[in-house]
Structure 1
Amino acid sequence: MTASSEHKRRQEALIKRYGSPAALGAKAKARMLLKRAAWVGVVRGSYLLKRLFDILASAVLLVLLLPVLGLVALAIRLESPGPVLFRQTRVGRWGQLFTMWKLRSMYIDAEARKAALMAQNEMAGGVIFKMKDDPRVTKVGRFIRKTSIDELPQLWNVLRGDMSLVGPRPPVPAEVDEYSLSDRRRLEVIPGITCIWQISGRSEIPFDQQVELDVQYIESQSFWMDLKILLKTVPALLLGTGAY
């Protein structure tokens, strides 16, 4: 059976079961339009609530964490010359590029040395590069990575709207180039600082399983799920499980 004949068969089955769209009465059409409007309202309302929460929470946290950021910035400068902040191009929702900020945890020549270390990649799947004993990471860098303090400047990305508090982690363009079509489902929502796999093992979870967990979040996300993930993020950071 060809694709066109299969499509026609399914269309006829739907018309037989629900009736032709042209045959719908005014009341049926009105009900359909109301249901569609209600669904759009729910989706947009959920997005608005999530965005408002992101703005308020990121603004408050940035103010409260300024002393911590200042002390860590001083420690970074004392150990290793170079800028305190590290900027990197990341891929956001629907492939849109943006600049993501982190506290610098590596020596300034880290990117140049990465090619020589690719053969030692410990992340299953090969799309993401991870090494537990990465020689490019400074002593201060190991601490702030373990505790995820290096991610705190991303609260500015959240405030700007590039990121959300909760969502799939934003990949670099080189990683997206290696994505399969199914992997690209991760790009259907605004990326976040924390996500399901961040509280379930972090770097110890293989890439394909990370994608599964991200898709699971995308298909069932809600404001209450976001709150649950945020609450579970706190003990995950304190324990430092899977972070390197």
Structure 2
Amino acid sequence: MTRILDFIFSLFGILVLWPVGLIVYILGLFDTGSPIFKQKRVGKNQKPFTLLKFRTMGVNTKSVATHLASSSSVTKLGAFLRKSKLDELPQLINVLKGDMSLVGPRPNLFNQKELIKERNERGVYNSLPGITGLAQINEIDMSTPKKLAEVDAKMLQDLTFKKYFYYIFATVGGKGAGDRIKQ
């Protein structure tokens, strides 16, 4: 049932928010010259997929987990996009395609071996990764792999329609700051 909700809400979100996306895209052309960021991430059953986001860091920034990136890599537009969570908007395309869900564990990189081990032990990869979830609204990021995997597993085990909507509305309402960046 969540797949149907994901499809409907992501399609609706794309149709309603495309003007915002277009403005961010154009501003991104002036900011970095390459407004769309694409990165291989670990998906359901540990299959790779290409995550889409609006670029928030310079194009030459090393591809590492956000908590390992330097804050000096974030552009001024990127800081705004991260704070407003508009950088996540292109992920609605990932949700529409079925690579992601609106609610689920944030997809990690393939080089995050400790997180992959912890999530694999808890069955987290049996579900689609998501844009938001319990860890995100509680500011638990990938810098604490074991804790994150535990929270992700708990969320997936206890996920109900009510909680699905709660995580979405809590995120849209500003709860959770996203992944921390090194200062």
**Structure 2 length normalisation: TM-score?**
0.87
Hey, what does 2:171 align to over in structure 1? 233
Hey, what does 1:117 align to over in structure 2? none
Is the CA contact (8 Å cut-off) linking 1:145 and 1:243 kept in structure 2? Answer: no
129 and 243 in structure 1: CA distance in 2 versus 1, 3 angstrom threshold: closer
Residue segments in structure 1 that go unaligned for 5+ positions in a row: 1-48, 115-127
**1:89 counterpart = 2:40:** yes
**1:164 counterpart = 2:75:** no
232 and 152 in structure 1: CA distance in 2 versus 1, 3 angstrom threshold: same
Q: What is the alpha-carbon distance in structure 2 between the residues aligned to residue 52 and residue 241 of structure 1?
A: 26
Give the counterpart letter for 1:192 in structure 2: G
Shift of 1:191: 0.5
Hey, what does 1:44 align to over in structure 2? none
Hey, what does 2:6 align to over in structure 1? 54
Q: What is the alpha-carbon distance in structure 2 between the residues aligned to residue 225 and residue 134 of structure 1?
A: 32
**1:196 counterpart = 2:148:** no
Shift of 1:142: 0.9
Richer in helix (by share): 1
SS of corresponding position for 1:94: helix
Which range moved further: 89-98 or 103-112?
103-112
Where do 1:137-152 residues align within 5 Å? 137-152=74-89
Q: What is the alpha-carbon distance in structure 1 between the residues aligned to residue 178 and residue 45 of structure 2?
A: 30
Q: What is the alpha-carbon distance in structure 2 between the residues aligned to residue 180 and residue 158 of structure 1?
A: 21
Q: What is the alpha-carbon distance in structure 1 between the residues aligned to residue 106 and residue 92 of structure 2?
A: 13
Hey, what does 1:182 align to over in structure 2? 118
**1:69 counterpart = 2:16:** no
Q: How well do the aligned residues superpose, as a CA RMSD in angstroms?
A: 2.3
Is the CA contact (8 Å cut-off) linking 2:101 and 2:130 kept in structure 1? Answer: yes
Return the match for 2:51 from 93, 100, 103.
100
Aligned residues: 179
Please say which structure displays the higher CA radius of gyration.
Answer: 1
Is the CA contact (8 Å cut-off) linking 1:147 and 1:240 kept in structure 2? Answer: no
* Residue deviations 1:130-186 (CA, integer Å, cap 9, x gap): 1585221111011101121111100000000000000000111111x3346433232
Query: Percent identity, aligned pairs only?
Result: 31
202 and 144 in structure 1: CA distance in 2 versus 1, 3 angstrom threshold: farther
Return the match for 1:78 from 6, 30, 39.
30
RCO higher in 1 or 2 (8 Å CA, sep ≥ 6)?
A: 2
